[in-house]
Amino acid sequence: MRVITRLHACFAAAIVLVLYFSYTRASSHLQDRIHHAWTPATTSSTSSGSHRLVVFGDDWSDNGEYRVSPPPKSTTRNRDPDRGDMWTEALCKELACDSLENFARSIPTNVGITTIGSVVDSDIFANVTAGTRNETLALFDFRTQVQQFIEFDKTRQVSGDGDDKWTIFTVFFGIWDLLEYSVLDKSDAMHAMDRSVEELFHNLNLLADYTGGSIRAVIPKVVDVTFLPRFQMRKNKSDVVFAHDQHQSVFLWTYWNTALSQAAAEWKGGDIYMPDLNSIVMDQVREQQLYSKQISDAAGIGKQIPLFDEVVQPCLSLKAGNGDTDLQAAAADVEKCFDPARHLFWDSMHLSGPAHELIGKATALLVTGNTTVNHGQAGSAPDQKNDKKEDARFKLKFPPGY
């Protein structure tokens, strides 16, 4: 009897070992399939190498971990775990990438001078705002970030770590550009946006030239900045002034996305994926508003419990009595909500972690489905910065009276 029991035990142990090794092998195989299932046949790959996401942009993409030239600790804020992942981190998880190389930069703090977040081109910003405001610092524009990436990647190639199966670039600028240019005369603002979009694709051409072939880039459309709590704080002005600012900002937001979409559709340096952030955000707002009124539309939106309870007020807010409108400048007087995951906005400028996760997942669907906005022909496109003709300027018009 004792012999039979030992035999049974040995037999059971053997089965467990077989199942374990079968599971680990299957898991490895599944992970490899995730990496390769959506990779286009035109993408060169080898039997070894990494799957990486390279990130350019501003506060909306920056995860606070830097490959080169990290900012001084005194100019950065510690990342709150309750904020959750950035959309770039969520995208990296969805695509099962091996590394996220971040070159995006957030607005610095405690620098003793008025600052803004990263814009497409700091020279364009400086020229168009000259004489209209006090000295304002705009650091780490797209051109600077691309230069940092190229220098970093050359070092990486020399060290023998440059054998990649695929690389995807994310390029997300425009939030700060819109906020800053919307207060200008509309013709000046439109001109600055035209030049900024040209410069964005000029730098995208530099990336394509550096890699020596077709690239893949995610370039999100910008959310309507008038819906940001930061913009809504301007309601302290007169109703007429706020209405005018809001109207012009909505027009310029449409202008920016139209210019960006048209340039992306014509670009031939690779594949461009363009998630519509405003649609993603507004879907959540609409769902919450319908649910709160106990009504639903023909598609059934409004029947289920929404992802967010609060779609107007951010999780971080200034304490009562603080007249400052800048959370960065008044960090000591900030109150945090009880349940950050139930807020659409983290603070007056940024979305919460769950909202970023929605963007990351929506973007991953575009990438895995190879849903591009252009033909993605191999080879770098002619430099649109130099070849753009005057009659190609966008022709959006204001309604009568503006």
The secondary structure of 169-216, three-state, reads: EEEECCHHHHHHHCCCCHHHHHHHHHHHHHHHHHHHHHHHHHHCCCEE
Residue 57 β-bridge partners: 172
pLDDT at 300: 78
C-alpha dihedral, 206 to 141 to 346 to 96, nearest 10°? 20
- Answer for the pair 251, 262: CB distance below 8 angstroms, yes or no: no
pTM of the complete model: 0.81
pLDDT average per 10 residues of sequence, the chain (402 residues): 53 48 43 44 42 96 90 81 96 96 89 83 91 67 96 84 84 95 93 98 97 95 95 82 91 98 96 97 93 83 90 86 50 84 96 98 97 69 46 52 48
- Answer for the pair 83, 59: CB distance below 8 angstroms, yes or no: no
221 three-class SS: strand
Handedness of CA 321, 324, 326, 328 (dihedral sign): negative
Residue-level length of the chain:
402
Nearest to residue 255, comparing CAs of 125, 396, 373, 384?
A: 396
The number of angstroms, rounded, from the C-alpha of 347 to the middle of its chain's C-alpha atoms is 16
Q: At how many degrees (to 10) do helices 186-211 and 122-129 cross? A: 170
Domain coordinates in residue numbering, the chain: 51-276+353-392
Residue 272 β-bridge partners: 217
Torsions phi, psi for 175 (to 5 deg): -60, -55
- Answer for the pair 340, 352: CB distance below 8 angstroms, yes or no: yes
Fold for 51-276+353-392, please state it.
Rossmann fold (3.40.50)
Please report, in angstroms and rounded to a whole number, the separation of the first and last CA atoms in the chain.
96
Gap between the Cα atoms of 372 and 265, Å rounded: 9
pLDDT at 358: 98
The helix or strand, by DSSP H or E, that contains position 92, with its residue range, turns out to be helix 87-94
